[in-house]
Structure 1
Amino acid sequence: MHVGVLGAGIVGLATAWQLSQRGFEVSVIDRAAPGAGASGGNGAQLSYSYVQPLADPSIWKQLPKLLFSPTSPLKLRPQLDPLQWRWGLAFLAACNANTSRQTTARLLALAAESRGAFEAMLAELGPDCDFSATGKLVLYASGASLEGARRQLELQRAMGSQQRLLTPEECIAVEPALAAYRTQMAGAIHTPSECAADCLKLCVALESALRARGVRFLLDCEVQGFDRRGDRVAAVRTSAGDLEADAFVMALGTASHRLGRQLGAYLPVYPLKGYSITVEVDPSEAAAPRVSVTDSARKVVFARIGSRLRVAGMAELVGHDASIPATRIETLAAATRAVFPHAGRLDDLHPWTGMRPATPTGVPIIGRLDGAPANMLFNTGHGALGFTLAFGSAERVTRALAAVA
């Protein structure tokens, strides 16, 4: 069976990898280079055991700040966009304890599958992607936020996650580079099994390996529409001509909504804009972190990738705006100076922005959809967990195709 994979971000490439592993003939289409979209400068964390969804009851108290504060790490700016309003209302409806609990369970199950598939890929391919397995600390600034984290920890622990609550002193014992931040921490959640890697470098390695296996890549190639015949897609229409295949997988991130509508399917996927900087670290002992760190108050993550520190954060619902405001980059630089003042020089920041494809609940859309052609499967809507969940969702799509091949 020949499968056309639409999208060469980490989700599309993971899908192509899993399909290739099962013996499918694969073609990959993308309008840019592999990893050039939301995958390229992401937070670099592989968060398999700590998956707290953005749609959480705490959002209601934050709503005025989300709407009006210019400095909020989470930002919602209403626009004349029916999708934004429909998505936003569904998101607010998901901000309740029951939905958050159900989403956590679904994400943890998918993350566990993804860890297994990712580790199998690492063992076989051995990619140069600055992979590390040094664990993660999620920092909390107040006793109230730490108590909320404790409840999330107990929920995730009941679902199989191995985590523990740490005092500030214990945090510094795990990650000495946090010593200067001691007075700003009420405590943290420590997940020793979490990992990190450079997603862009992995995308490049996967492309090379897939080409060597005979996978065809059509890059700089825009998906423009579909040749639909009855209940099937016969071909994808692209700027380079038609691509015929037996089945297709749409892994086009935020573009999935628009193209899904052409096929008669509603995909509640909206861009969740984020930013990152990447700096060279000071090699001195305890200057820069080895353990991945998330500052929950600032909504900023720090991940060591080789000799660099990736600092990423913010979540903005502002539409498809690819601009990079200097204030947002300065916020990330300021967070780095505050949390890790000796990490390295901040004179070359490599600023980046990406549009994470998010669903209202945070659960990605995987497989077939009502109203869409039977041979079009979807793999999109992973939000901020795209890197973490990519290989698990790819495995699910591959199983679905293998069952009918």
Structure 2
Amino acid sequence: MEVPPPAAILGRMQILILGAGVTGLCAAYALARDGHAVSIVERNPEAARESSFANGGQLSYSYVAPLAGPGVIPKIPGWLLKSDSPMRFRPRLDPAQWRWGLKFLAACTPAMADLTTRRLLRLSALSRRLVHGLVEEEGLDFAYSRTGKLVVLSDQASFDAARALMGYQATLGCTQEALDAAEVLRLEPALARIAPRLVGGIHTPDEEAGDCRAFCLGLSRILTRRYGVTFHWGTPVRELVAQGGRLRAAMVPAGAMEADAFVLAAGAAAAGLLRPLGVSLPLYPLKGYSLTVPIARDDAAPRISVTDAARKTVYARLGDRMRVAGMADLVGHDTSIWPDRLDLLVREARAAFPDCSDWSRIGPWTGLRPATPTGAPILGACPGLANLMLNVGQGALGFTLAMASGQVVADALAGRPAPIEMDGFQPADHGL
């Protein structure tokens, strides 16, 4: 009897994805459509229980500038000392935090920030096309809207810098316009309460919003029913086992889970999984907060997505609810809700849109965004482990970049040319 060749030689592989957040699910979608036998292992009982659960809700393809920028370093004393800063840094006896922090500071140059922004715009433009295709083909229901986005600015220097970026974004197909304060209010009357501090805004009419958790839950059902993807819920990965320059298995409580290829999409937990194998991922969690409130008065809630640049707070209408998100705290892997940080977010939201809700039913949440120092994700084969694909480091842009990141991974495993220029995203670009 003739022995059949391994599945990988025929082009169809057994692929195990670690993580059922938005990045893992989008990778599964791209790989399953390529005809691979895909399984996902997830430590939670369903999809999107961690960073994808209640993020800002914005699919922000045109606004991807990294946190690391030339204006960051002068603000660090305030982050350390001010209790109401939109960012908080608490030094810890954690070598990983200090290594990440030093690399982050090295990336805070005008040249590096500009280069990373341009790279991320390429990736986000790809994601936009893929999201549109997914919505059209699969009919996914996730409070999806294409009503645009308005970034409001409260000082002239920030407004001038935002207008300067519009020219480059136009070369990538972004349609934007700069508005003065009066035009901002005509476009979005619900911003009337913060009118005294408005200088202007940048309006991008084709930006989008949606409920990331609903997206993930719907996509997980589609993956199961239409593409035969197998999910292993409530299954934590305890260890990765390597042999002969390849990843052999993911060890779970029931034993070894083997595959031809693996995709690491485990968010903030990814670095800990690879560390015992001698791979040091430059990832650190940025803790973010959100709250979700029911909309009580339709005219008092923003119709389009709003980003308040001065307060580093985002607002997105998700059907009959409003999502408010903000903060970026470097405090380790602590996922507890700190009352003072939640109170700050509530105060900002109530000051901006006091009548949109009665504010008695606030759904609070916090999550860890897995970030690289530069802000660019790590996409590609892990050095020394040829069959392990990295799909990590999207930071606060996980929802926005997930579809493109998954496609990049699928193309790499298929041996196809990358769909975009990959400089800045490959593991070697991150020192691996």
Q: Normalising by structure 1, report the TM-score.
A: 0.97
State the Cα distance separating 1:152 from its structure 2 match: 3.1
Q: Is 2:85 aligned against 1:72?
A: yes
Structure 2: how far apart are the matches of 1:226 and 1:143?
A: 51
Q: How many residues align structurally?
A: 402
Q: Deviations over 1:364-388 (max 9, x none)?
A: 00011323x1000100000000000
Q: 1:165 aligns with which of 159, 163, 178?
A: 178
Equivalent residues of 1:104, 1:156 under 8 A apart = no
Q: Please list the CA deviations of residues 202-256 of structure 1 after superposition, one character each: whole Å capped at 9, or x if unmatched.
A: 1110111111121110111111112322011121111232111100000000111
1:53/1:361 contact within 8 Å kept: yes
Is the 8 Å Cα contact of residues 103 and 361 (structure 1) preserved in structure 2? yes
Distance 1:264 1:125 in 2: 40
In 1, Cα distance between equivalents of 2:170 and 2:240: 45
1:111 matched to 2:124: yes
Residue 365 of structure 1: which of 370, 374, 378 is its match? 378
State the SS of the aligned residue for 1:139. Answer: strand
Which residue matches 1:229?
243
Q: Could you tell me which of 172, 187, 195 is aligned with 2:208?
A: 195
Q: Distance in 1 between matches of 2:202 and 2:347?
A: 23
2:315 to 294, 298, 302: 302
State the 1:124 CA deviation: 1.6
- Conserved in 2, the CA contact under 8 Å of 1:3 and 1:248? yes
SS of residue paired to 2:382: coil
Superposed displacement of residue 15, structure 1: 0.6
Whether 1:279 and 2:293 are equivalent positions in the alignment is yes
Q: Does 1:261 align with 2:275?
A: yes
Pairing of 1:347-358 with structure 2 (within 5 A): 347-358=360-371
> Which of the numbers 200, 204, 209 marks the counterpart of 2:222?
209
Q: Distance in 2 between matches of 1:216 and 1:258?
A: 25
Structure 2 equivalent of residue 7 of structure 1? 19
Query: SS of the counterpart of 2:292?
Result: strand
Deviation of 1:71 (Å):
1.0
1:16 corresponds in structure 2 to 28
Instruction: Please tell me whether the aligned partners of residues 65 and 117 of structure 2 are also in contact (alpha carbons under 8 angstroms).
Output: yes
Tell me, which stretches of 5 or more residues in structure 2 are unaligned? 1-12, 417-432
**Do the aligned residues in 1 keep the contact of 2:240 with 2:247 (CA within 8 Å)?**
yes
Take 1:334 and 1:75, find their aligned partners in 2: how far apart are those partners?
17
- Structure 1, residues 178-213: CA drift from partner, whole Å, max 9, x if none? 122211211111111110000001111011111112
What are the equivalent positions in structure 2 for 1:50-199 lying under 5 Å apart?
50-199=63-212
Contact kept in structure 2, 1:281 and 1:307, CA below 8 Å: yes
* 8 A Cα contact 2:240 2:274, kept in partner: no
Q: How many angstroms does 1:67 deviate by?
A: 1.8
Q: Classify the secondary structure of the residue corresponding to 2:362.
A: coil
Contact persistence 2:20–2:42 (CA under 8 A): yes
For 2:301, the aligned partner's letter is: A
CA contact (8 A) 1:40 1:200 kept: yes
* 1:52–1:152 contact (8 Å) kept in structure 2: no
Contact map agreement 2:377 2:393 (CA 8 A) in 1: yes
Indicate yes or no: 2:400 matched with 1:388.
Answer: yes
Preserved CA contact (<8 Å) 1:50 1:156: no
Is contact 2:282–2:373 with CA below 8 Å preserved after alignment?
Answer: yes
Equivalent residue in structure 1 for 2:52, among 15, 39, 45: 39
CA RMSD of aligned residues (A): 1.3
Match of 2:261 in 1: 247
Moved more, 357-366 or 218-227: 218-227
Q: 1:158 to 1:61 in 2, by over 3 A?
A: farther
TM superposition score normalised by structure 2: 0.91
Q: Secondary structure at the match of 2:114?
A: helix
3-state SS of paired residue (1:375)? strand
Partner secondary structure for residue 368 of structure 1: strand
CA contact (8 A) 2:297 2:355 kept: no
How far apart, in 2, do the equivalents of 1:277 and 1:68 lie? 25
After TM superposition, the runs of 4+ consecutive aligned structure 1 residues lying more than 6 A away are none
C-alpha displacement of 1:75: 1.1
**Deviation at residue 155 of structure 1 after TM alignment:** 4.0
The one-letter code matched in structure 2 to 1:366 is: L
Offset at 1:297? Answer: 1.1
Q: Which runs of 5+ in 1 are unaligned?
A: none
